[in-house]
Amino acid sequence: MTKHILLLGWHPDVVDYGKWPDLTPEKLTAGLNAEEERLNARGHSAAWHLLRDAATDLPVLADRLGAGHYDVVLVGAGVRKDDAHFLTFEALINTIHRYAPKAVIAFNTNPNDTVEAVERALVRADTL
């Protein structure tokens, strides 16, 4: 059965790369694309929702979550691990909770372990 997965993170154009010295826009884009492709190759329906500005993107995210069914919503490390984005992280969690209450929430640690984070969440979802 196909699992529907929404992946949330910052658009590569708005990331403060000074905070992530080993990351470049090209590496981030490649990592995001590769993980989405890996998930879809495993039979899932996965897509990124990339944020540019939390204030304007949260209503768009709410509409997207409300219009579909998601088994897993992953919040990327760039949002979760950067203290400057604490309020955005909090707003994302509350938006997910309100508009996709049945979705399991997952967290990656970097752009390249998204598949592992999603699959861990899918196992968790099967036990709830």
Q: In this structure, is residue 107 part of a structural domain?
A: yes
What 3-state DSSP class applies to 23? coil
Domain residue limits at 103: 4-44+67-127
Q: In this structure, is residue 56 part of a structural domain?
A: no
Question: Could you give the CA distance from residue 45 to residue 80 in angstroms, rounded to a whole number?
Answer: 23
Residue 1 clears pLDDT 90, i.e. is over it: no
Q: In this structure, is residue 88 part of a structural domain?
A: yes
Q: In this structure, is residue 113 part of a structural domain?
A: yes
The pLDDT tens digits of the residues spanning 35-78 come to 999 999 999 999 999 999 988 999 999 999 999 999 999 999 99
Among candidates 73, 61, 76, 124, which has minimal Cα distance to 103? 73
Q: In this structure, is residue 81 part of a structural domain?
A: yes
pLDDT given for residue 111 in this prediction: 86
Confidence of residue 94 (pLDDT cuts 50, 70, 90): very high
Question: Could you give the CA distance from residue 33 to residue 25 in angstroms, rounded to a whole number?
Answer: 12
Matching residue, tokens 């967290």: 107
Q: In this structure, is residue 11 part of a structural domain?
A: yes
Number of domains, the chain = 1
pLDDT given for residue 124 in this prediction: 82
Question: Could you give the CA distance from residue 28 to residue 36 in angstroms, rounded to a whole number?
Answer: 12
Q: What's the whole-number mean pLDDT along residues 118-124?
A: 92
pLDDT given for residue 126 in this prediction: 73
pTM over cut 0.75: yes
- The pLDDT mean for the chain works out to 94
pLDDT given for residue 128 in this prediction: 62
Q: In this structure, is residue 106 part of a structural domain?
A: yes
